[in-house]
Chains A and B, each alone.
Chain A
């Protein structure tokens, strides 16, 4: 893996021009920050931030909806054209292979967006299981931008008024500055915003157009991580992986009611039993009582005994405190439970908190 040359997105030159500090991430050279993580984080919560998420995997799925549905936890019959859902790709044991967005921006089948680090495995798994029932077409010819923040709607209004009419978890196909784009009203920050899929050759021009708006600033992966952590959103491969079920990951809501009734998703028996009886461990949020951040891998203790581990953690700029996520036994998962995080051998007092730590501000019309 490490010997593979790093890939670049169509916005690489723009990132360098804007002073982005480039780092390797999921096989790509990506900007971790521009002016600084804290400033970028705050700008996204107050204005509008532009993120390059072109490293993520985009694909169209056509054919029988049932072929895709059989692998995930969503009810695709509920997915009307023009809408989007968050769902989970499961292995046969009910472990989470990935979390993904599936939408129907038009009448031409499904549009899926998966994580960068897992896209190869996801697409191979889907193709393998689809057989002849459905076809997966990778959209390597498309970049993906996220425009996030309370001013994102007004910025979009000026460029593509039709796309600005979408509400949270709606999606559509539009023409933006002459480009054929898929736009969804969603994101990974807890703020209102959009994800915009653009043909590679038009991506830089549209990014520049967005950045010409003085409300918009470029944001790196550092702030993307602190924003999603405050929003209580999972980072795949950290907060959940193939050894985690949706119930353990506190994502029961992503398992559609109708799919529970039909019990026809991978690992259904195990997952339905966990819904019934409860899982023995749960993903929770925590907040430290002093200033020392506890990061991924820090042990979680209760009454002096190690009971779990942090899967994400860091200083939360908007919350003004170190926060994180991790797994604890179900009986300790209640908000308000006193725990300790072991940071460099010292037990730091913390408590389980309800997620999101910073309230979501999605646009629901």
Chain B
């Protein structure tokens, strides 16, 4: 069963059973950033603590840091963003995903917002 949680910094994290969690930014965040021209992704195999700077999104205008939504180890990154960073704007929730994390402590997920709470957060 999959579930998607959200952070106050406009990231989504989707878990499917015990598998790795997929992380990206929300369409709202992509819209705010404008045209994404580069995403600096973390190294596969590296571990991060919740709140660590884990990636950087560069739009035409500025660079924005992305923080690890939960603690965990990076097991895969979306290499397609290297040639097509615009996927973040076109499909932030799908093809524009950033990386997959092996979640260290599943209870950290519970502290994040569900979709209804996130909607309230951006409204």
Contact = CB atoms under 8 A, between A and B. Distances in A.
Nearest to B81: A291
Interface stretch (A6-14, A29-37, A107-115, A128-136): A29-37
Contact of A291 (B35, B62, B63, B82): B82
A222 B61 contact: yes
Given A37-B35, A38-B35, A291 B60 contact: no
A286 interface: no
B90 interface: no
A344 interface: yes
Interface in B59-112: 59-63, 82, 85
Contacts of A314: 60-61
A315 interface: yes
B65 to A, nearest CB: 10
Given A32-B61, A293-B63, A315 B34 contact: no
B38 A344 contact: no
Contacts of B60: 37-38, 41, 222, 226, 314-315, 317
Interface residues of A, number: 17
Interface of B: 34-35, 37-38, 40, 56, 58-63, 82, 85
A43 interface: no
A126 to B, nearest CB: 34
Interface in A17-60: 32-33, 36-38, 41
Interface of A: 32-33, 36-38, 41, 222, 226, 291-293, 295, 314-315, 317, 322, 344
Contacts, number: 42
Nearest to B35: A38
Contact of A292 (B38, B59, B61, B62): B38
A37 B38 contact: no
Contacts of B56: 344
B63 A37 contact: no
B71 to A, nearest CB: 22
A37 B82 contact: no
Which 5 pairs across A and B sit closest by C-beta, in order of nearness? A315-B37, A38-B35, A37-B60, A291-B38, A293-B58
Q: Which of B37, B60, B85 has the most CB of A within 10 A?
A: B60
A292 B39 CA distance: 8
Nearest to B37: A315
19 contacts: A37-B34, A37-B61, A38-B34, A38-B35, A222-B60, A291-B37, A291-B38, A291-B82, A292-B40, A293-B38, A293-B58, A295-B63, A314-B60, A315-B37, A315-B58, A315-B60, A317-B60, A344-B40, A344-B56
